Homo-oligomer: A and B are copies of this chain.
Amino acid sequence: ASVGDGYIGKGIRPALTLLSGKFYNYDFEKLLPMACSVELMHTATLVHDDAIDKSSVRRGHATINKLFGSDVAILMGDYLFSRAGEFVADTKNPRAIKLFSHTLGIISSGEINQYLSQFNIDQTFEDYVQRISGKTASLFALATETGGILSGAPEPAIDGLREYGMKMGIAFQIVDDILDFTSDQATLGKPVGSDLSQGTLTLPSMLLLKKYPDNNPVRAIFEEKGVNKPEKIKEAIVLLRQSGIVDECYRIAHDYCDRACAALDVLPSGSTSQEALRGLAAFVTARKD
Question: A residues touching B (Cβ–Cβ < 8 Å)?
Answer: 45, 48, 51-52, 70-72, 74-79, 81-86, 88-90, 92, 94, 97-98, 100-105, 107-109, 111-112, 115
Q: Are A102 and B86 in contact (CB under 8 A)?
A: yes
Q: Are B74 and A51 in contact (CB under 8 A)?
A: yes
How many copies are assembled?
A: 2
Cβ of A84 to closest chain B Cβ, rounded Å: 8
Query: Binding site of A, secondary structure by majority: helix, strand, loop or mixed?
Result: helix
Q: Are A105 and B79 in contact (CB under 8 A)?
A: yes
Partner of A72, one of B70, B82, B89, B112: B112
* A109 cross-chain contacts in B, Cβ below 8 A: 75, 79
* A77 cross-chain contacts in B, Cβ below 8 A: 74, 78
A97 and B76 alpha carbons, distance in the complex (Å): 21
Partner of A79, one of B70, B90, B108: B108
The residue on B at minimum CB distance from A70 is: B70
Between A and B, 5 residue pairs with Cβ closer than 8 Å are: A48-B78, A75-B108, A78-B104, A88-B101, A97-B97
Q: Are B71 and A108 in contact (CB under 8 A)?
A: no
Q: Of residues A71, A77, A84, which shows the largest number of chain B Cβ atoms within 10 Å of its Cβ?
A: A71
A101 and B82 alpha carbons, distance in the complex (Å): 5
Partner of A98, one of B79, B90, B111: B90
Cβ of A73 to closest chain B Cβ, rounded Å: 9
The residue on B at minimum CB distance from A37 is: B101
* A101 cross-chain contacts in B, Cβ below 8 A: 82-86, 88-89
Q: Are A104 and B85 in contact (CB under 8 A)?
A: yes
A248 and B65 alpha carbons, distance in the complex (Å): 40
A115 and B77 alpha carbons, distance in the complex (Å): 15
* A51 cross-chain contacts in B, Cβ below 8 A: 74
Given known A92-B94, A115-B71, contact A105–B76 (CB-CB < 8 A): no
* A81 cross-chain contacts in B, Cβ below 8 A: 78, 81, 104
